[in-house]
């Protein structure tokens, strides 16, 4: 159903350059929320060297009002309207709080409006909801990409890698155009959607990459795809079904030698047992002192699908991706890791003499009764354990297992591993591959189409 809808959107893009789904498609304008919302009583300052022109959002050809000020203040009122004030806090005009009126620079060419410290291309508008005011950048999608590409990939990367990034970012924007529809805009400017920076963050090379791939997007069977990407695959990308439970034929796991020997292709990360415990508790998992971690299941690319965390008060099996979220996405950089414990007393061996032998033999603690300090048999291991014979009267061995001091993670890659590896793209470009080679390497069975103009 979703794919059919996307196809419809694209057909509309190509065939009916009119107003579809609230987006003015003949000019490809989208609404991007800038930063977090403020309270309606907060003052937002806008600057322009040429004054401001107000337009109806869907009729940018003719301004409806001119404001002869280089600095204006904006705030909301209790009626859900946006008040525009001059430098002396005199009200200049009031516009609806639904984003239907947009504010541009006083010149019609290369409109830049400064909001607080940052300049943005095209137009600014505001949406008021529940006493909160959001600043929205009403912007041409290609201009939006000027702000995304340098935020999502270093502008120092080779041009063909930047072009691949521009195309996947454009595809991602098309697919996720309704990500924030319920709040009245299209995309946010954070990693939730794609990171979008102000005009001042633009770079010559990234703008060139956007220009040279104008309108191009990644397509599978004629439909635009969610062209996911990440920093470094660690040598093997991941199947989308292992990350988002949705199997997609173009997001399959592939071997990726290009990502080796690049930043974060391998890493080590150590976290203290007490910090892991507090992070787990913050995530609603309280299993006492953390005694051990055991990888239960890995994917085809060796990423951790599930891991068992053994605590003094119980065990918990969680997804590898959940462990990343809990411990930190920038510290546990991928789920392509192994883990071992360090420090503390790890002597957990138990020796018994049973009826069939006269010499002590080692038994696996997992198959022995574990008693707590009150001689109760329990499934949970506490820091001190004693094993009893099956008659439950004589102690046949004892052991002491203290919590480890820390856990050491050895890993490869950075990010979820699905789709294009950005460092892999860099290496491919350095080896002479072009953006088409890069995209068809990372996305299985795709082609690059152009919206056409």
Least distance from C-beta 22 to Zn ion, angstroms? 17
Site stretch for Zn ion (CB under 5 A), options 188-196, 224-232, 252-260, 295-303 = 188-196
Binding mask of the shown chain, residues 132 to 171, with x at each position contacting Zn ion by CB under 5 A? ----------------------------------------
As a residue count, the chain comes to 453
Nearer to Zn ion, 66 or 192 (CB): 192
**Shortest CB 137 distance to Zn ion, Å:** 13
Chain centre distance of CA 131: 28
Give the range of 5-13, 165-173, 191-199, 241-249 binding Zn ion by CB under 5 A: 191-199
Q: What Rg do the C-alpha atoms of the chain give, in angstroms?
A: 29
Q: Which stretch binds Zn ion (CB under 5 A): 182-190, 362-370, 390-398, 443-451?
A: 182-190
CB of 209 to Zn ion, least distance (A): 23
Is 193 near Zn ion (CB under 5 A)? yes
Q: Which is nearer to Zn ion, 82 or 188 (CB)?
A: 188
Q: Does 192 bind Zn ion (CB under 5 A)?
A: yes
CB atoms within 10 A of CB 87: 11
Nearer of residues 46 and 173 to Zn ion, judged by Cβ: 173
| Least CB distance to Zn ion at residue 82 (A) | 22
Tell me how many residues contact Zn ion (CB under 5 A): 3
* CA distance linking residue 241 with residue 246, whole number of Å: 4
In the complex, what is the shortest distance from the CB of residue 32 to Zn ion, in angstroms, rounded to a whole number?
9
Give the position of tokens 């791939």.
213
CB of 194 to Zn ion, least distance (A): 8
Contacts of 355 (CB under 8 A, 6+ apart): none
Of 396, 29, 34, 7, the closest CA to residue 195 belongs to 34
Instruction: Kindly indicate which of the ranges 181-189, 225-233, 296-304, 310-318 contains the residues binding Zn ion, using the contact rule CB under 5 A.
Output: 181-189
Secondary structure of residue 66 in the 3-state scheme: strand
3-state helix, strand, coil in the chain (%, to 5): 25, 35, 40
Contacting residue, 23, 127, 149, 188, with Zn ion by CB under 5 A? 188
Instruction: Tell me the closest approach of the beta carbon of residue 183 to Zn ion, in angstroms.
Output: 9
Q: Is 440 helix (H, G, I), strand (E, B) or coil?
A: helix
Within 8 A by CB and 6+ apart from 172, the residues are 193, 194, 226, 227, 228, 229
- Pick the piece of the chain touching Zn ion (CB under 5 A) from 54-62, 99-107, 190-198, 247-255: 190-198
Least distance CB 170 / Zn ion (angstroms) = 16
Backbone angles phi, psi at 402, to 5 degrees: -95, 165
Tokens of 174: 């098309």
Whichever of 192 and 349 has its CB closer to Zn ion, that residue is 192
Nearer to Zn ion, 39 or 192 (CB): 192
- Taking every pair of Cα atoms in the chain, the longest distance, rounded to a whole number of angstroms, is 100
What is the spatial distance between Cα 79 and Cα 94, in angstroms, rounded to a whole number?
11
Q: What are phi and psi of 176, to 5 degrees?
A: -100, 25
Minimum CB–partner distance for residue 325 and Zn ion (Å)? 17
Are 329 and 321 a contacting pair, CB within 8 Å?
no
Which segment (1-9, 78-86, 135-143, 186-194) binds Zn ion by CB under 5 A?
A: 186-194
Residue number, 190 or 345, with CB nearest to Zn ion: 190
Query: Residues 6 or more apart from 34 whose CB is under 8 A from it?
Result: 115, 118, 120, 134, 135, 136, 137, 189
Nearer to Zn ion, 193 or 271 (CB): 193
Residues 6+ apart with CB under 8 A from 270: 342, 406, 407, 408, 409
Rounded to a whole number of angstroms, the minimum distance from the CB of residue 443 to Zn ion is 22
Q: Which is nearer to Zn ion, 188 or 370 (CB)?
A: 188
B/e letters for 9-42, b = 16+ CB within 10 Å, e = fewer, are bbebbeeeeeeeebbbbeebbbbbbbeebbebee
Examine residue 181 and tell whether it contacts Zn ion (CB under 5 A).
no
Q: Give the interface segment with Zn ion, choosing from 87-95, 185-193, 340-348, 417-425 (CB under 5 A).
A: 185-193
Rounded (5°) CA angle 175-253-434? 70
Provide the minimum distance between the beta carbon of 224 and Zn ion in the complex, in angstroms, as a whole number.
18
Q: For residues 185 and 423, which CB has a smaller minimum distance to Zn ion in the complex?
A: 185
Segment near Zn ion (CB under 5 A), from 192-200, 204-212, 219-227, 347-355? 192-200
Q: Which residues bind Zn ion (CB under 5 A)?
A: 188, 192-193
């Amino acid at each position: 159903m979703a794919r059919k809808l996307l196809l419809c959107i694209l057909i509309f893009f190509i065939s009916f350059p009119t107003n579809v789904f609230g987006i003015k498609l003949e000019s490809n304008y989208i609404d991007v929320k800038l930063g977090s919302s403020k309270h309606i009583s907060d003052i937002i300052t806008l600057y322009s060297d040429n004054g401001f022109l107000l337009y109806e959002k869907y009729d940018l050809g003719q301004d409806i009002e001119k404001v002869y000020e280089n600095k204006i203040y904006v705030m909301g009122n209790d009626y859900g309207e946006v008040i525009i004030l001059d430098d002396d806090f005199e009200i200049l005009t009031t516009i609806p709080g639904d984003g239907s009126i947009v504010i541009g620079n006083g010149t019609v060419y290369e409109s830049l409006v400064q909001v607080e410290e940052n300049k943005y291309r095209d137009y600014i508008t505001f949406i008021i909801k529940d006493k909160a005011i959001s600043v929205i950048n009403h912007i041409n999608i290609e201009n939006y990409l000027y702000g995304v590409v340098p935020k999502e990939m270093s502008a120092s990367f080779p041009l063909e890698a930047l072009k691949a990034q521009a195309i996947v970012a454009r595809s991602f924007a098309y697919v996720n155009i309704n990500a924030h529809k319920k709040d009245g805009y299209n995309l946010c400017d954070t990693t939730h959607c794609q990171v979008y920076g102000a005009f001042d963050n633009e770079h010559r090379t990234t703008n060139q990459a956007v220009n040279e791939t104008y309108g191009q997007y990644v397509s599978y069977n004629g439909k635009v795809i969610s062209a996911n990407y990440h920093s470094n695959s660690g040598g093997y990308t991941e199947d989308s079904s292992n990350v988002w439970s949705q199997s997609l034929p173009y997001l399959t796991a592939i071997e990726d030698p290009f990502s080796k020997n690049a930043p974060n292709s391998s890493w080590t990360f150590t976290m203290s047992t007490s910090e892991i415990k507090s992070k787990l508790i913050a995530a609603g998992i309280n299993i006492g002192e953390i005694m051990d971690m055991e990888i239960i299941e890995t994917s085809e690319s060796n990423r951790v699908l599930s891991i068992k965390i053994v605590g003094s008060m119980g065990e918990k099996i969680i997804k590898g991706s959940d462990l990343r979220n809990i411990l930190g996405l920038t510290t546990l950089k991928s789920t392509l890791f192994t883990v071992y414990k360090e420090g503390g007393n790890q002597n957990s061996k138990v020796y018994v003499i049973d009826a069939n032998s006269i010499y002590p033999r080692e038994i696996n603690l997992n198959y022995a009764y574990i008693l707590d300090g009150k001689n109760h048999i329990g499934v949970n291991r506490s820091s001190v354990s004693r094993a009893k014979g099956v008659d439950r009267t004589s102690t046949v061995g004892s052991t002491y297992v203290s919590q480890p001091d820390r856990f050491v993670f050895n890993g490869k890659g950075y990010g979820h591993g699905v789709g294009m590896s950005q460092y892999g793209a860099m290496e491919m470009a350095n080896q002479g591959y072009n953006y088409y080679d890069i995209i068809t390497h990372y996305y299985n069975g795709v082609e690059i189409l152009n919206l056409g103009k």
